[in-house]
Amino acid sequence: MASTADALAAAGRPPKARPIKPRLGRDDLIMRGFMAVIALYLVIAIALPLYAMLSKSFSTYSFDLTAYEFQVSDEVGNFDAPPVSAAALNDELQAVSPEDLSTSSDGRLPATSFFPDFSFRSPVMYKIRGTSADAVYLVGTERFSGTEWREVDSNNFRRVMLRPARDIGFANYVTYFSTPALFQSIENSIFISALSTIITVTLAFGFAYALSRSCMRLKGFFRLVALAPILVPSLLPGIGLVYLFGNQGMIKELLLGESIYGPIGIVIGSVFFTFPHAMIIITTALAISDARLYEAAECLKASRWKIFWTVTVPGARYGLISAAFVVFNLVITDFGLPKVIGGQYNMLAVDIYKQVIGQQNFEMGAVVSVVLLMPALVAFAVDRQVQKKQVALLSARSVPYQPKPNRRFDWLAFGYCGLIAVFIVGLLAVCQYAALIKFWPYDLSLSLKNYAFDLMDGGGWDSYYNSIQMALLTAVAGTAVVFVGAYMVEKTKGFETGRSLFQLLAMLPMAIPGMVLGLAYIFFFNEPANPLNFIYGTMAILVICTVTHFYTVSHLTAVTALKQMDREFESVAASLKQPFYKLFRVVTVPVCLPTILDISIYLFVNAMTTVSAVIFLYSPTTTLASVAVLNMNDAGDIAPAAAMGMMIFYTNAGARLIHLAVSKGVLKRTQAWRFR
Amino acid sequence: MSSYLRIRNLFKNFGDFTALKDISLDIEDGEFVCFLGPSGCGKTTLLRAIAGLDLQSYGSVEQAGRDISDLPVTQRDFGIVFQSYALFPNLTIERNIAFGLENLGKSKAEVGARVTELLDLVNLADQRKKYPAQLSGGQQQRIALARAIATSPGLLLLDEPLSALDAKVRVHLRHQIKELQRKLGVTTIMVTHDQEEALAMADRIVVMNHGVIEQVGTPTEIYREPRSLFVADFIGETNQIHSTVTEPGCLALGRARLRGQTGELAPGQKVVATIRPEDIVPHEPAFREAEDSDSLLEVTVDEMEFLGSFWRSRLTGAALDSEVLYADFSINAVRRLSIDEGKSLTIELPPSRLIAFAAAGSAGETHGEHG
Ligand SMILES: Nc1ncnc2c1ncn2[C@@H]1O[C@H](COP(=O)(O)OP(=O)(O)O)[C@@H](O)[C@H]1O
Ligand SMILES: [Mg+2]
């Protein structure tokens, strides 16, 4: 008898008992509700648009001439002749060639093509019908379908347009890969990204090494300078390079006759704008390497060179790998820089723009987007794996390294960092200088005429104010959504499936290039049948797109901060019968305030500088500063473009200063508890 | 009359792993109960199931006659103190304590008065404006306690409340907590892996191992009458000697035949005989008492170690074969019998204190040197 009870106990269940199902309290329901709402936001803001784009890339459109029949009357309106199909007419007349039958989703084929002797003044009447229910045609702007005969007079018959039928298949991809001009971009993009990655990571590693391992002076200054490129749009270095090395460049002789428009320009500019990202990651990796290893190596009288290769580099390997993939991803998905300085050199991100804006070929734009998604997804996946490993490393480490003075090495480090600083400050200074002179290179007198943005294409000063409004909205709404979402997913009890689904949705945006996101938004939100269609062309869609684009990093920041909170706070509050939102308001938010401010400044700065995510989505009333830089540059107003770019720089620098001051003030006032 | 807390056939599974197996337990109103067991045996899991923080997979929990098996935390009636204390770092001590009092329809003055009362109760009246980080560990612990009892819950749950503190503070706080509990009369469950703590504080102890309850009893019951080898070994210290049951009440121990508690063990069964070092009574060499001769052993003192209030002695002897016994002799006895290393000695193993357990099962766990 005892043995059966034991067997049941071993099975982990009692005889004939039902498992306990939790009865959900009010808090549980509210929390799940919040999570569901934010998950729904992510579904609408990323999953559905991506799906729309994917399905678009597999859609082909062609006119199906067998689907339409016509009947023509005599002069007095008697329909004696038999009905005849459009296909038969075309076989006879060869009016439309087979190539012209394939078209885009917007394609329209005039019915009159099949009636060479058509005259809109003739008394002849026409009848048209589809042979299947799916055949669609327009009369003027009115849309008809179905197999019923419709009679139109000749004046209206010239306004009858056949509409293409949609087909699912790989045809677009076949076209893409059989057009060398298009798939050449894949090679170009990978080549440029790989080259920029090698250069950036090498330079940034040297810089981070100097910062963490030397006793040189001005470390704080160098760090600040190295972070400056984050504050400008990626296309600004391109403008600086044009002034330095362009056809009338200040020092174009240095290029020995090579053109800056093309790979050289893209690579130099990419190094500029990705440098801070690599530097931050590698500095972190170096900071966590263990001092004890260095002491051991020094005790063994190992040379600095040997220590470097046997201790430093292996210790920072995850940082280096992570930095490489981040830089690769940034370069391959960047649109602004190759647009400004790429010349005839085709890159994937620019191809999307050209297909969509230049040729209105949305399907091909979707195909290029899917192609661009591939390397980005791989880079993203590898980076995530490496990040996990590094976290494991971090917790095991302890004693931070304290460098010792060494005159020769310190001066070497100083010289190296000085050169990098000159490169970064120099490029920004050139932009500012170009913005302030009248007309390079003919009239070098100072003037503010380049700031008269209202006289140029691109939206004028309004675009600057729009940008600030957009960035503020993004910072406020984005931080709220991200932090509340992270809180719910971290602190909701049970509900495992829902939570992992949410985590997945939250990680997705990082893998999606801005151009792809923007294009996906066109497909999804511009669809007339979408009830959310009304936000198309408004400030709201720009804010939603930008929040989504930068969701992942913000989410991870918030999750990290929340993980550091005692996980029993919620239990204590519940045992005291206090609702979770009181705890959230009174404890969670105040304790996490520094993180919340960090997330909002991150969103603000990125909203000010982003081009790729919003280039397809702005409307005449919602032009943005970063887009204005691009458009003014396109229109040949390069100096005003530089001026606007520098306005973004100063605005972001100012925002960072305010952030710093507010953070300090807040810390002092509300975080007294941090100090004993 | 039914008990205050009734747990019936409670199971908890984490995936394939069964953390709690068929737990049934009654706790009376006003009782102080300790869950005692080695780390990982499921004490916290059981406490959290009672609190509703991590619901059990099967089984029922009744509190004060109400079935609370599947109720959310907010609808239960308990206060809780965690190992980490989980004090809100950005709120002052008084706001921490007032946290649960704020939406009960009380006026500010009433809340303030209650906070003062609670601060007096834990002797921290002068700290009310400070932040948790400004207090010592022991003070933080008492604040957490004050916060947990602020709303006068019917049940107080403490998860290793003392284990983060250093030894001296721990002993001091033991008394404070116990006294507070007695004063309030609140039914209390405390989780601990420290047997000394459990023995000192509990009205009753629930000894757990591998997700099952090994024994429930008062500290003296648990200590004097362990019902499994695990309990005998885990609580206090005990000698473990491999032996065989010869007939009911009789054990073959080495070459010796001794009387002991064999319970329902069958003759011929291999068993482990246990006796606590302090239960071994020393006599002069060649001491004989007619009726008790089958509790006596001739041994030699191998080694003696002075442990303050007694001598821990290592005993061997021909009758023991290769087995070793440890005995604690009072300073008095050592002086009276001139016990010394190398000397011979007769020891008495009182039959009521020599307890045999089946050798199988949990016997694989903890054999080892004592002392
Ligand atoms: N959330 C969980 N998921 C899986 N296993 C768990 C979880 N919580 C506890 N366990 C396991 O259940 C067992 C009992 O844990 P616990 O109740 O915390 O032990 P303790 O007696 O030390 O308090 C342990 O083996 C532990 O690993
Ligand atoms: Mg525990």
Q: Which residue has the tokens 């770092």?
A: B89
Q: What is the mean pLDDT of chain B?
A: 90
Distance, C-alpha A581 to centroid of its chain: 33
Residue A13 has its nearest CB partner, among B55, B58, B134, at B58
Identify whether the C-beta of residue B235 lies closer than 8 Å to the C-beta of residue B222.
Answer: yes
Q: Do A575 and B70 touch (CB under 8 A)?
A: no
pLDDT surpassing 80 at residue A11:
no
The answer to whether A528 faces chain B, any CB pair under 8 Å, is: no
- In degrees and rounded to multiples of 5, residue B20 shows phi and psi of -130, 130
Which domains, ranges and CATH numbers included, belong to chain A?
25-54+454-670 (1.10.3720.10), 64-164 (no CATH), 174-447 (1.10.3720.10)
Q: DSSP letters along A252-321, please? A: GGGGTT--STTHHHHHHHHHHHHHHHHHHHHHHHHHTS-HHHHHHHHHTT--HHHHIIIIIHHHTHHHHH
Q: Which residue has the tokens 């009159």?
A: A112
The 10s digit of each residue's pLDDT in B150-177 is: 999 999 999 999 988 888 889 989 999 9
What are the angstrom distances between the C-alpha of A578 and each of A27, B90, B148, B321?
A: 9, 17, 13, 66
pLDDT for the residue numbered B68: 95
Residue A587 has its nearest CB partner, among B69, B88, B103, at B88
Mutate to test the pocket of ligand 1, among B10, B11, B16, B17 (most ligand atoms within 8 A of CB): B17
Least confident of B57-71, B139-153, B260-274: B260-274
Identify whether the C-beta of residue A158 lies closer than 8 Å to the C-beta of residue A110.
Answer: yes
pLDDT for the residue numbered A10: 63
Quick one: average pLDDT of B361-370?
A: 37
Quick one: average pLDDT of A299-322?
A: 80
Window 310-369 of B: residues touching A by CB (8 A cutoff) are none
| Distance in angstroms (rounded) separating the CA atoms of residues B315 and B277 | 11
pLDDT for the residue numbered A396: 45
Residue in A568, A556, A12 with CA at minimum distance from that of residue B84: A568
Nearest CA in chain A to B13: A12
Looking from the CA of residue B46, the nearest atom of ligand 1 is: 17
Quick one: average pLDDT of A81-86?
A: 88
Q: Where on the phi/psi map is residue A507: left (φ > 0), alpha (ψ -120 to 50), or beta?
A: alpha
Most confident region among A136-145, A233-242, A255-264, A528-537 by mean pLDDT? A233-242
Q: Which of B10, B21, B155 to mutate to test the interface with A (most CBs of A within 10 A)?
A: B21
pLDDT for the residue numbered A292: 65
Looking from the CA of residue B191, the nearest atom of ligand 1 is: 23
Q: Do B57 and A13 touch (CB under 8 A)?
A: yes
What are the angstrom distances between the C-alpha of A499 and each of A52, A478, B29, B150, B187?
A: 25, 20, 40, 34, 37
pLDDT surpassing 90 at residue A342:
yes
The 10s digit of each residue's pLDDT in B76-92 is: 999 999 999 999 999 99
pLDDT for the residue numbered A392: 56
| Distance in angstroms (rounded) separating the CA atoms of residues A656 and A401 | 29
> How many CB atoms sit inside 10 A of residue B29's CB?
14
What CATH code is assigned to B5-229? 3.40.50.300
Cis amide leading into B72 (omega within 30): no
Q: Do B51 and A24 touch (CB under 8 A)?
A: no
pLDDT for the residue numbered B370: 35
Q: Do A575 and B79 touch (CB under 8 A)?
A: yes
The 10s digit of each residue's pLDDT in A364-409 is: 999 999 999 988 788 778 877 877 776 555 444 445 677 888 889 9
pLDDT for the residue numbered A208: 94
Quick one: average pLDDT of B9-17?
A: 93
Torsion of CA A63, A66, A68, A73, to 10 degrees: 130
ipTM exceeding 0.90? Answer: no
Token pair in block for residue A450: 């380049």
The 10s digit of each residue's pLDDT in A227-280 is: 999 999 999 999 999 999 988 888 988 888 889 999 999 999 999 999 999 999
Residue in B225, B259, B227 with CA at minimum distance from that of residue B243: B259
| Distance in angstroms (rounded) separating the CA atoms of residues A296 and A43 | 53
pLDDT for the residue numbered A5: 55
- Sign of torsion, CA A210 A215 A216 A220? positive
The 10s digit of each residue's pLDDT in A606-631 is: 999 999 989 999 999 999 999 999 99
The pTM of this model reads 0.86
Q: Which of A572, A667, A673 to mutate to test the interface with B (most CBs of B within 10 A)?
A: A572
Residues near B362 by beta carbon (within 8 Å), at least 6 away in sequence: B209, B210, B228, B229, B230
Who lines ligand 1 at CB under 6 A? B 14, 17, 19, 37, 39-45
CATH 3.40.50.300 in chain B, residues? 5-229
Residues of chain B in contact with residue A24, where contact means CB-CB under 8 angstroms, are 72
Mutate to test the pocket of ligand 1, among B11, B12, B13, B14 (most ligand atoms within 8 A of CB): B14
A214-220: Cβ within 8 A, 24+ apart: A214/A403, A214/A406, A214/A409, A214/A410, A214/A413, A214/A414, A215/A403, A215/A404, A215/A405, A215/A406, A215/A410, A216/A410, A216/A411, A216/A413, A216/A414, A216/A417, A217/A414, A218/A414, A218/A417
| Distance in angstroms (rounded) separating the CA atoms of residues A518 and A527 | 14
pLDDT surpassing 70 at residue A290:
no
Quick one: average pLDDT of A209-217?
A: 90
Tell me the β-bridge partners of B330. B310
Q: What percent of chain B has pLDDT over 70?
A: 95
pLDDT surpassing 60 at residue A636:
yes
- In degrees and rounded to multiples of 5, residue B227 shows phi and psi of -105, 0
Residue B22 has its nearest CB partner, among A9, A18, A582, at A9
Q: Do A25 and B150 touch (CB under 8 A)?
A: no
Least confident of A105-109, A553-557, A669-673: A669-673
C-alpha of residue B200 to centroid of ligand 1, in Å: 26
Residue A577 has its nearest CB partner, among B82, B100, B132, at B100
Q: Do B80 and A572 touch (CB under 8 A)?
A: yes
pLDDT for the residue numbered A393: 54
C-alpha of residue A487 to centroid of ligand 1, in Å: 24
Q: DSSP letters along A100-127, please? A: HHEE-TT--EEGGGG-TT--TTS--EEE
Question: Pick the residue with more confidence: A9 or A597?
Answer: A597
pLDDT surpassing 90 at residue A586:
yes
